[in-house]
Amino acid sequence: MNIAKSFVEYMEDLGMGTFATDIFIGNIAIDAVDKAWWVVSSGGATLSKNNTGERIKNYTLSVFYRNTDAEDVYEQMQEFEEEINSKGCIQLDGYDTIEMEALVFPTDQDLDNEDRVVGLLQVKVSVYQS
């Protein structure tokens, strides 16, 4: 399973939505509902590598949320940022997660072509690979 799909499953477990209905990977469906999330993998890099081959990898995910209600966008993004930054170590399915952290707090990304407000939250996920 890829990191974006694993992260979407975490979002589903939080009750934030359902994959392919109001949570998407890569981009958002044209006919998606107004209140929708999408996760874009923004790359990553190896942070450190041991002589025996184990490594720590950092992935960066861009998490977007849109809605016609600007206040809801700010509330949802703020709540999600606090969820990510308030817990110990959130585990993602299929990964030995060391740390997950919201790097860029919720920002307003302006309006889309149908006057819906779009917010952005960037998340770093550090994983151990043996």
Domain ranges of the chain: 3-129
Intra-chain end-to-end CA distance of the chain, in Å: 16
State residue 30's pLDDT score.
Answer: 87
Supply 80's token pair. Answer: 């999600």
Does residue 43 carry a pLDDT above 90? no
State residue 41's pLDDT score.
Answer: 96
pTM, whole model, 2 decimals? 0.91
- Return d(Cα 64, Cα 13) in angstroms, integer: 18
* CATH superfamily assigned to domain 3-129: Phage tail protein-like (3.30.2000.10)
| pLDDT above 90 coverage of the chain, percent | 72
Confidence at 130, pLDDT banded by 50, 70, 90: confident
Q: Which of 78, 73, 79, 64 is nearest to 117 (CA)?
A: 73
Cβ(34)–Cβ(60) under 8 Å? Answer: no
State residue 46's pLDDT score.
Answer: 76
Confidence at 112, pLDDT banded by 50, 70, 90: confident
State residue 36's pLDDT score.
Answer: 97
Going by DSSP bridges, is the β-strand pair 117-129/36-49 parallel, antiparallel, or unpaired? unpaired
Does residue 106 carry a pLDDT above 80? no
Burial class (CB in 10 A: 0-12, 13-18, 19+), 75: middle
